[in-house]
Structure 1
Amino acid sequence: MNEQNNVIRKQPKHTFPKKKVLCLVSNAAQLHGMEVGFFAEEMTRPFFDFINAGYDVDVASPKGGKVVFDGHSNPENPKGAYPNDLISIGFVHHTTFGKWMENTFSIADINVADYDAVCVSGGGAPLINFIDDLELHKLIADFYEAGKITCLICHGTSLLLWTKLSDGTLLADGKTWTGFADSEENMINEMFGMTVNDYTIETEARKNPNTNFEVAGPLEPFAIRDGRLITAQQQHSSFLASQLVIEALSE
């Protein structure tokens, strides 16, 4: 057998056009008496990938100011489930980036024209904070209608349940997209021994006859790009989301 046949060579693209991306996370909220925030990896992994692509990246939240990781996703929480999330640990201990957790930009200070893409993280707080935030809905619509890449991850995709374009139609209408699945919600409910969320993205999305909502198996990496809209099912899909954003921005 020719050993040369076993040689694999890989030379991926390593230079990308200069771009600027807004990573958007939720402010903290109360859920069943617990403080919840955003899922660590769903912001820090795309952030890491964007920085490695040479992009400028800002972190914002609807109200600005301090933001927190969900305790479940915080790698430095002894009771958390992701102690090996080295990227999130590195982010919070970085001399510059870690300080952003204490003082994020407010969406009121964001000029859509300054950015090429927006990437919204999920977590425990978005289902609580995003539903009635009309300013946030408008910001997402403005990004999309300005021709910007619009990326939503996990519970961040809940924005597609409510975000309306300037003509009054839902951004999700006519789109194929994904988000946190009911099968995954059921896993969370079993973990906590209660119904954690009052409503779920999948159930609500399937009530819209004008949209196409898809999911993979529970906790399987899965992401979809439909034109300028990129969605990812959950935290295990964060790296797929950032890959799709970088591909889209390289076109």
Structure 2
Amino acid sequence: MENNMGDENKKLYFDLSEGAKAQSESLKDQSELKQVWDGSQEDFYKSIIRNQQDDIGRIGRYFRDELAQELYRMRISLQNFTNRYGDFEELRCLRDSLSTLVVEIRNKAVLLYNPILNDLGIFHAVDEAVASYKKRFGFTIDTLLDPQLRELHHQAQVHLFKLLTAIFQYLNDESPSQAISISVQVIEFEILVKVSPFFQQGEALSVSKLENSPMRLMKIAELYNARIMNDTLAAGILLKLTI
């Protein structure tokens, strides 16, 4: 018969089914763990997530502030060289490649570390993303954000922003409409994200562009730990995110 011993408050359990040796080793592990972390298991996991987010932010800042800048300086040096000694096809290709690489690195850096989100909060970051989709694709996103989002912990804002931008891309690719309304509401410890098509008068809802659209939405929800309450655009997509 298996015998378990543990701290009910901290949810730490030790298997003693193999006898005294297992008990001794488990208690030793418990002692070593307490030296590192003296809190609940949930807080321990949250601390790991926060450290990961901090690491991601540092990588993003490195890409944006150091690596991209260094590549840009290389591109300027190459331009100065060609201005002095003449341009060649190989040098033009290298210069164009450096320019493209700088843009790609800066775009990736924004995904890892969004300066507007980190400095000004989720409202400004969402506004920037919405404006970008309007400018690049002509895709209009009308947003209604709960003022309580300002009170969310920074990491919760980052998580929500990543979910919203994934939904933006999904809708831009899949939606038959060129305009979408998204509302975000905070209710206790849950965030409700509702998506509705926004049509001009007399415009009708057509079918989704791709048959695997619901599957893609499921993958997005799974990635960001959101729960799909409704997945049909006609009735309004509804997702719930627990914070």
Provide TM-score, normalisation by structure 1: 0.25
Greater C-alpha Rg: 2
Provide TM-score, normalisation by structure 2: 0.26
